[in-house]
């Protein structure tokens, strides 16, 4: 029997990784889990959400409103299942904001769509979460 244990190093890490939000002032860091199958709570919620979209997609009734609605639903999913901590997140007065699911959702909702898209793209790129690929110092500048 062949031994393919060398492939285990390609498995996705269960640990959060730091995502530095360079587009906002200060040193804002989100602690992310992967937005992928490895993250079972997220993946199950995503599948449940997707079922409701299938008919619209199949009938080609996609619209800008649907894309916005999908992004808004992802903000909720990310606040529950992807972002598991943060550092350096401040309010308009420069005061540190405590990490809570509600505060994460409010923060993600306040972000311009293009910044949230960058977070989504990063969290959904599974290679960012492969243990041997993670360079803790290199992640500082994504």
Residue 124, domain member (yes or no): yes
Per-residue pLDDT for 2 more than 90? yes
Q: Is residue 7 part of a domain?
A: no
In a domain, 56, yes or no: yes
Residue 114 located in a structural domain: yes
Cα–Cα distance measured from residue 134 to residue 142, given in angstroms and rounded to the nearest whole number: 12
Q: Does residue 135 lie in a domain region?
A: yes
Question: What integer pLDDT is reported at residue 60 of this predicted model?
Answer: 63
Whole-structure pTM value = 0.78
Give tens-digit pLDDT for 67-95. Answer: 777 788 899 999 999 999 999 999 999 99
In a domain, 8, yes or no: no
Q: How many domains does the chain have?
A: 1
Residue 136, in any domain of the structure: yes
The listed range with the strongest mean pLDDT (11-25, 38-52, 60-74) is: 11-25
Mean pLDDT of the chain: 85
For residue 54, the enclosing domain spans: 14-140
Read off the tokens for 119.
Answer: 């977070």
Q: DSSP letter string over 79-113?
A: IIIIEEEEES-B-TTSPBPP--HHHHHHHHHHS-H
Alpha carbon of residue 117 to chain centroid: 9
Rounded CA gap, 117 and 36, in Å? 16
**Host H or E run for residue 18:** strand 17-20
- Distance between CA atoms of residues 7 and 10, nearest Å: 5
Q: Which residues of 9-23 are buried (b: 16+ CB within 10 A; e: fewer)?
A: eeebbeebbbbbbee
4 in a structural domain = no
Q: What is the mean pLDDT of residues 43-58?
A: 74
**Cα–Cα dist 104/29, whole Å:** 12
Edge-to-edge order in the sheet of strand 17-20: 17-20, 29-32, 83-87
């Amino acid at each position: 029997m062949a031994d393919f244990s060398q492939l285990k190093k390609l498995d996705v890490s269960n640990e959060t990784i730091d995502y530095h939000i360079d587009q906002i002032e200060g040193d804002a860091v989100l602690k992310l889990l992967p937005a992928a199958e490895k993250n079972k709570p997220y993946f199950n919620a995503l599948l449940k959400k997707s079922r409701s979209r299938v008919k619209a997609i199949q009938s080609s009734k996609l619209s800008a409103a649907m894309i916005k609605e999908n992004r808004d639903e992802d903000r909720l999913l990310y606040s529950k299942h992807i972002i598991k901590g943060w550092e350096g997140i401040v309010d308009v007065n420069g005061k540190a904001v405590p990490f809570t699911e509600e505060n994460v959702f409010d923060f993600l909702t306040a972000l311009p769509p293009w910044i949230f898209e960058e977070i989504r793209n990063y969290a959904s790129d599974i290679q960012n979460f492969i243990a041997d690929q993670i360079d803790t110092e290199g992640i500082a500048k994504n």
